[in-house]
Amino acid sequence: MKTVDQIVRAMTLDEKIALIAGKNFWQMEGVPSAGLEQIMLTDGPHGLRKQAAASDHLGLNESVPSTCFPPACLMASSWDEGVTRSVGEAMGEECVAEEVSIILGPGVNIKRSPLCGRNFEYYSEDPYLAGKLASGLIRGVESKGIGTSLKHFAANNQERFRLAGNSVVDERALREIYLKPFEIAVREGNPSTVMCSYNRINNVYSAVNRWLLTDVLREEWGFDGFVMTDWGAMSDRVEALRAGLDLEMPGPAKENAAKVRAALEDGSLSMDELDTCVRRLVSFILKAEKVEKKAYSIDAHHKTARDAAASSFVLLENDGALPLKKEGSYALIGSLAEHIRYQGAGSSKINPNRVDTIRDLFPHCSYAEGYDPVTGETSDRMIADAVAACRGKTAAIVVVGLPDSYESEGFDRTSMDLPQGHVKLVDSLLDEGIPVIAVLLSGAPVTLPFRHRVNAMLLCYLGGEALGSALESVLTGMVNPSGKLPETFPLRLEDNPSYGNFASDDRNVLYKESIFVGYRWYDYKNLPVAYEFGYGLSYTDFEYSRLSISSDAVSFTVKNTGECAGDEVVQLYTGLPSSRIVRPVRELRGFEKIHLEAGEEKQVVLPLNRDCFTYYDVVTKSFEVEEGEYEISIGASSRDLRLKGLLHVDGTREPHVRGNIADFASLFDGSLPLIEETGCIDMNTTVADALKTPGGKEVLGPVARMMDETYSGDDTVSRMMKAMVYEMPIRGLWMSQVENFSVDDTLKRINDINSRK
Ligand code: BGC
């Protein structure tokens, strides 16, 4: 067997240049001189989206059937690395069976706003939780010899302008919040690849960000895999090579290949720089070659999907209506019970092996649709039918949530509200005196005006293909719910710290709240919330006692004081009230899910280490520990802190921060890194902006008209496609299947016309 170096030495220049871009939409090039075959990559992140025929990166065309595991929004509520690991192992096995070498995920972008259209693909508002759970998934997949692609690196937290936006984030917030989940996942999960994001960070596109891709990712964190672009995220190919970006996807990238060749010829790029990337790609291909095809069990994976979902649902309210009573009889209301929403729209959309709907699992219940499944609207007749279906029943199980058209890759929501029809339905049933058990299907927080009136409410997020059977097991009490919220449910959108600075019409997205994201903000401002980070009820109760804190561990006892077995997620938070710098009141630094039989008690020991106390110091350029009396809290949620103690920790007495958070520019020494408006149309100008010029209108007008005609509706696909194309930089247009598209020619034509007019 030849070594990587031997193979690279024997490769021709053509082979090397071909290898650094995709062969097509889903394959890498092979290395013919070394007999290495092309390998396949597919989405991700909650199952395999392998497209055998027509390809796309928005989940529009068919893909081969595979298990649709719960999307990250639900898996995150498990607070259990064991859950993400087992899902990862199963996904790895499906890759092995389908001869896919890399699955594109997990996505660990922080949920900065509840409105991000893609929140369902991400884990949490907290970097520690996101990083830990993603590490579990990565280890699971990679244990099968399959690569993962940790994405979208980095600060890609909204869909608006996702291809052309500029995330303006101060250094401390980047390090403590936005890069942290990547850091944990790289250090602990060790993914084979990382996918760079579309956006710019502080005015530098991720694909060409040497600081991000080399200094931080490789040199600081020790990443030794390869970096690929998100689909169409390449800006300047030669600069990207120097920055540490190895693979451009999709391919083939003919114009960029010519640019790389020219740069080698004129000496602006060295063969060593090219070889460094080629070496990383060849090493992975060699590893992938060793994996042998093997079938997987569809039944076993369906069960994995079910178990993962059942241990993640979050019980938000319960006055004893749940679990369902054996002697009770129930009505099932809401067309989402039949047309269940179990995954989000876009590139992660799986063609599931099978789907357990809710309605199928509750055949003995009377049923009424309650509202239109697509629009979410209700009518007097629908409500009357629902009331009739509840006559003589113990309670109504009412399924509400967001229809597909509300959340998708490509665009963000504009409100946190449920469809009015869903709210009206629930209110009407309650007004009739009917006990309501609400089941909530949505990929992100919504406002729940009826939350204090319903008798019980179970949040299922988007549950994957086994949603129905998992729900049955939890509603009937076969499984005791143990999920906890991986994000805050604010009372109002206006309370969210990114409010006013999220998905606006400005391509510069100012992260003015800095480190105060999610509960860090609500706690700092002492704001009331609907449900706090880490919250979730159980059918049993847990009592915490006997706290003891030493310099390297916290130990305490948890007792199940109720009548049934259950799992509890114990959470460790630390804070430094006397800090010399501004800091969150408390931050999650550890957690564990424990199982307790009824009446059983256990001693839990959570480790304490340096990472439990750090902040990012902008002068020493590293995570530092500040000396002081730390408050150590053990909680059943971030606001239900059951045990508290103090620990003195040695460290620096001179922590440094830059500026102050109330004055955003001061965090950047006065000058914000905004996009410079040159007035010229270049490869990074969006189609929408180019269309405002005469040249753009003439050259790109036909493409725009074709788009408008093909996607004239207000459905998910039309909104996604329009956002995609209009907000796309011109350099990405070739991916939209415009025939013989050349970026350079297009720019030249536009600018020629503009200079004449
Ligand atoms: C998404 C990625 C995805 C890729 C390939 C992009 O639009 O942002 O998450 O992996 O397409 O489908």
Whole-angstrom distance, CA of residue 391 vs CA of residue 267: 81
Around Cβ 603, how many Cβ atoms within 10 Å? Answer: 10
Strands (E), 349-455: 366-368, 395-401, 436-441
Query: Which tens digit of pLDDT belongs to each residue from 576-630?
Result: 999 999 999 999 999 999 999 999 999 999 999 999 999 999 999 999 999 999 9
- Taking 90 as the threshold, does the pLDDT of residue 118 lie above it? yes
Q: What pLDDT shows up at residue 736? A: 66
C-alpha dist (Å) from residue 722 to 166, 688, 707: 20, 10, 7
Around Cβ 34, how many Cβ atoms within 10 Å? Answer: 17
Query: Which tens digit of pLDDT belongs to each residue from 311-340?
Result: 999 999 999 999 999 999 999 999 999 999
Whole-angstrom distance, CA of residue 454 vs CA of residue 320: 11
Whole-angstrom distance, CA of residue 157 vs CA of residue 159: 7
Provide the β-strand partners of residue 104.
43
Whole-angstrom distance, CA of residue 522 vs CA of residue 540: 28
C-alpha dist (Å) from residue 80 to 76, 272, 635: 8, 43, 16
C-alpha dist (Å) from residue 220 to 183, 216, 246: 9, 5, 18
Helices (H), 101-250: 127-142, 171-173, 180-184, 210, 237-243
Amino acid, single-letter form, for residue 577: P
Q: What is the dihedral of CA 703, 705, 709, 715, to 10 degrees?
A: 80
Residue 327 DSSP code: T
Whole-angstrom distance, CA of residue 709 vs CA of residue 124: 38
Three-point CA angle 726, 732, 738, nearest 5°: 85
Token pair for 170: 């101060």
Whole-angstrom distance, CA of residue 666 vs CA of residue 283: 44
Q: What pLDDT shows up at residue 26? A: 95
Helices (H), 368-411: 380-389
Whole-angstrom distance, CA of residue 717 vs CA of residue 61: 11
**Residue 43 Cβ < 6 Å to ligand 1:** yes
CA-nearest of 284, 260, 258 to 273 is: 260
Nearest CA to ligand 1 atom 3: 347
Whole-angstrom distance, CA of residue 98 vs CA of residue 36: 18
Distance 347 CA to ligand 1 centre (A): 5
Amino acid, single-letter form, for residue 536: G
Q: How confident is the model at residue 642 (pLDDT cuts 50, 70, 90)?
A: very high
Nearest CA to ligand 1 atom 2: 230
Q: What pLDDT shows up at residue 738? A: 64
Whole-angstrom distance, CA of residue 110 vs CA of residue 131: 10
CA-nearest of 612, 628, 614 to 553 is: 612
Whole-angstrom distance, CA of residue 85 vs CA of residue 87: 5
Query: Which tens digit of pLDDT belongs to each residue from 251-292?
Result: 999 999 999 999 999 999 999 999 999 999 999 999 999 999
3-class DSSP state of 546: strand
Q: What pLDDT shows up at residue 734? A: 76
The mean of the pLDDT values for the chain is 96
**Residue 57 Cβ < 6 Å to ligand 1:** yes
Helices (H), 403-528: 420-431, 467-475, 519-524
Q: Which atom of ligand 1 is nearest to the CA of 59?
A: 12
- Active site residues per annotation: 230
Query: Which tens digit of pLDDT belongs to each residue from 12-34?
Result: 999 999 999 999 999 999 999 99
Around Cβ 739, how many Cβ atoms within 10 Å? Answer: 5
**Residue 230 Cβ < 6 Å to ligand 1:** yes
Whole-angstrom distance, CA of residue 602 vs CA of residue 561: 12
Whole-angstrom distance, CA of residue 290 vs CA of residue 235: 33
- Percentage of residues in the chain with pLDDT exceeding 70? 99
- CB 52 within 8 Å of CB 65: no
Distance 120 CA to ligand 1 centre (A): 14
Q: What pLDDT shows up at residue 375? A: 93
Nearest CA to ligand 1 atom 8: 230
Nearest CA to ligand 1 atom 5: 57
CA-nearest of 237, 198, 203, 244 to 220 is: 244
Q: How confident is the model at residue 721 (pLDDT cuts 50, 70, 90)?
A: confident
Phi, psi of 528 (to 5 degrees): -70, 145
- CB 694 within 8 Å of CB 700: no
Distance, C-alpha 627 to centroid of its chain = 35
Q: What pLDDT shows up at residue 725? A: 85
CA-nearest of 8, 14, 7, 84 to 46 is: 84
- Taking 90 as the threshold, does the pLDDT of residue 555 lie above it? yes
- Taking 70 as the threshold, does the pLDDT of residue 538 lie above it? yes
Length of the chain in terms of residues written: 757
Distance 704 CA to ligand 1 centre (A): 22
Strands (E), 157-240: 166-168, 193-196, 200-201, 204-205, 226-229
Q: How confident is the model at residue 739 (pLDDT cuts 50, 70, 90)?
A: low
Q: Which residue among 104, 118, 122, 197 has the greatest number of ligand 1 atoms within 8 angstroms of its CB, and so is best to mutate?
A: 104
Amino acid, single-letter form, for residue 23: K
Q: Which atom of ligand 1 is nearest to the CA of 198?
A: 8
Whole-angstrom distance, CA of residue 46 vs CA of residue 406: 20
Distance 109 CA to ligand 1 centre (A): 13
Whole-angstrom distance, CA of residue 454 vs CA of residue 458: 11
CA-nearest of 585, 518, 587, 534 to 112 is: 518
Q: How confident is the model at residue 677 (pLDDT cuts 50, 70, 90)?
A: confident
CA-nearest of 503, 510, 501 to 162 is: 503
The mean per-residue pLDDT over the stretch 116-140 comes to 98
CA-nearest of 244, 225, 214, 213 to 284 is: 225
From 510-519, 546-555, 742-751, the region with the lowest mean pLDDT: 742-751
Query: Which tens digit of pLDDT belongs to each residue from 170-190?
Result: 999 999 999 999 999 999 999
Strands (E), 561-635: 566-575, 587-596, 601-607, 614-617, 622-625, 628-635
Whole-angstrom distance, CA of residue 356 vs CA of residue 465: 6
Provide the β-strand partners of residue 604.
556
Whole-angstrom distance, CA of residue 501 vs CA of residue 2: 53
Pairing of strands 622-625, 614-617: antiparallel
Query: Which tens digit of pLDDT belongs to each residue from 452-509?
Result: 999 999 999 999 999 999 999 999 999 999 999 999 999 999 999 999 999 999 999 9
Q: Which residue among 46, 50, 55, 57 has the greatest number of ligand 1 atoms within 8 angstroms of its CB, and so is best to mutate?
A: 57
CA-nearest of 306, 229, 297 to 69 is: 306
Distance 44 CA to ligand 1 centre (A): 9
Whole-angstrom distance, CA of residue 374 vs CA of residue 442: 14
What is the DSSP code string of 15-31? HHHHHTBBSSSSBB--B
Whole-angstrom distance, CA of residue 676 vs CA of residue 688: 17
Whole-angstrom distance, CA of residue 737 vs CA of residue 719: 18
Nearest CA to ligand 1 atom 7: 57
Classify the C-alpha dihedral 497-500-504-508 as positive or negative: negative
Domains of the chain: 4-68+77-288 (3.20.20.300), 301-510 (3.40.50.1700), 540-667 (2.60.40.10), 687-756 (no CATH)
- Residue 635's region, left for phi above 0, alpha for psi from -120 to 50, else beta, is beta
The mean per-residue pLDDT over the stretch 378-386 comes to 98
The mean per-residue pLDDT over the stretch 411-438 comes to 97
Distance 721 CA to ligand 1 centre (A): 13
Phi, psi of 314 (to 5 degrees): -110, 120
- CB 710 within 8 Å of CB 736: no
Max Cα–Cα distance, the chain, nearest Å: 83
